[in-house]
Amino acid sequence: MYEAEKLIRLAKRENNPNRDFLLINVFQGKHYPANPSNTFKMCKALANKVKTKYPSEKFLIIGFAEAATAIAALVASFLGSYYMQTTREIIENVPALNFSEEHSHAKNQMLYIRDFAKLAKNVDRILFVEDEITTGKTLQNACNVLDDICHAHLNFTIATLLDCTHDFQKNALADLGIDIISLMHLNKEDFDEKLKDFKADGEFHNYPLSELINLSDIEKENLVKNVKQIEFDNAHDPRMGLNIFDLNNDLEILWEHLKIPESEIKKKKVLLIGTEEFVYPSIFIGKKISEFTNDVMCHSTTRSPMLPGNAENYPLKNRTLLPSLYDVNRITFLYNLNKADCVIILTDALDQNSLGMFALLKALKNYNNENIYWVWWKK
């Protein structure tokens, strides 16, 4: 039994006029470091609720970037489904549907539809997976743009870890033929009021582009020195849509390919870091590592700007500001960074010599992390 009061924490957004707070699920493994075993169990519980309601149906699961990509992939894994994700990344010469996410700091979402019709014709239902649904407007926007290309027999369902909708919002979705399956429910409160006395007195660590452009070649060499860089080639991209078994097979091969000595992870403190939308592989590999140690945590860089604080129950204690690995002119953040015996970074960013890479390595070494693996996921 999952209870929102135990798993959900309230965080203060920075400079977001649409919504001043973010609800953080401490088992999700995105903004807040989480044990991947807890993430797996939570997503399996959500998948089981879907399976109970629709025992004989086949699904195309769509996960929303950034926060829900990994949990959607896990739900797809437990249901044996097709899977695709929305994205904010531009892929040239591929048709896409555009819609907006009402409360986000980065509103525009895209769903690349090159293979959508091929996948959709093999399923009974499109299942949107979210970490949180507050108003349902994002999902309504998504359904509106999908209506033109969906077959008439397809149905829409939302599966969410946390449901914060009011009855009138549920009714509005039901009128569109969209039902909600949730693992937890949280009554809407005045979250802004709860944060009125918030003090941003946590740790701030900034690695802005303006400082990184002055790094010398020697400084760069020292940062990458002893970092074990691994390239892994594969042909599957969830932004295009795929059978989840294919992606999981890639990840099984990657795990064998890593060949991390058991002495570096057995009964050690291990940290896995994903990047922005690329979250699922870190949680998958983290689950493998959990067979060797109980002290394994996963989280990810994110575009979401939140403020750190030292209040006892406040979730974010430190914040690291970094240029994005995907676009150095974009700012990203990493929260609650700490020291580990072994750090494994997994990214599908293309530039293997970006200032974003050097910034993340500087941040890790600021916390005295020296044993670092860097996995480049090549498409």
Average confidence (pLDDT) over 251-266? 97
- What is the distance, to the nearest Å, from the Cα of residue 150 to the centroid of all Cα atoms in its chain? 26
Instruction: Return mean pLDDT, the chain.
Output: 94
3-state secondary structure of 173: helix
- pLDDT reading at 105 higher than 70: no
CB 237 within 8 A of CB 379: yes
Write out pLDDT tens, residues 161-195.
999 999 999 999 998 889 999 999 998 777 888 89
The stretches of 298-376 forming alpha helices (DSSP H) are 355-366
Q: Range with the lowest mean pLDDT among 30-34, 276-280, 349-353?
A: 349-353
- pLDDT reading at 153 higher than 60: no
- pLDDT reading at 107 higher than 70: no
**What are the Cα distances from residue 119, in Å, to 97, 144, 154, 240?**
16, 19, 12, 10
The per-residue pLDDT for 102 is 61
Q: Please enumerate in sequence order all residues whose Cβ is within 8 A of that of 245, keeping only pairs 6 or more positions apart, or say none.
A: 80
d(CA 356, CA 333): 11
Write out pLDDT tens, residues 122-134.
999 999 999 999 8
What is the percentage of the chain residues whose pLDDT exceeds 90?
82
* Domain 4-194: which CATH number of 3.40.50.2020, 3.20.20.80, 2.60.40.420, 3.10.20.30: 3.40.50.2020
pTM comes to 0.96
pLDDT-derived band at 143 (thresholds 50, 70, 90) equals: confident
d(CA 183, CA 47): 9
The per-residue pLDDT for 108 is 82
The per-residue pLDDT for 198 is 96
Write out pLDDT tens, residues 4-52.
999 999 999 998 877 899 999 999 999 999 999 999 999 999 999 999 9
Q: Range with the lowest mean pLDDT among 31-40, 90-99, 189-198, 207-216?
A: 189-198
Domains 4-194 and 203-378 equal at CATH topology level:
yes
CATH 3.40.50 fits 203-378, yes or no: yes
DSSP 26-55: TTSSSSS-B-HHHHHHHHHHHHHHHHHHST
Q: Where are the domains of the chain?
A: 4-194, 203-378
Q: 96-100 and 108-112 as β-strands: parallel, antiparallel, unpaired?
A: antiparallel
- pLDDT reading at 113 higher than 60: yes
pLDDT-derived band at 235 (thresholds 50, 70, 90) equals: confident
The per-residue pLDDT for 303 is 96
Write out pLDDT tens, residues 303-317.
999 999 999 999 999
- pLDDT reading at 199 higher than 90: yes
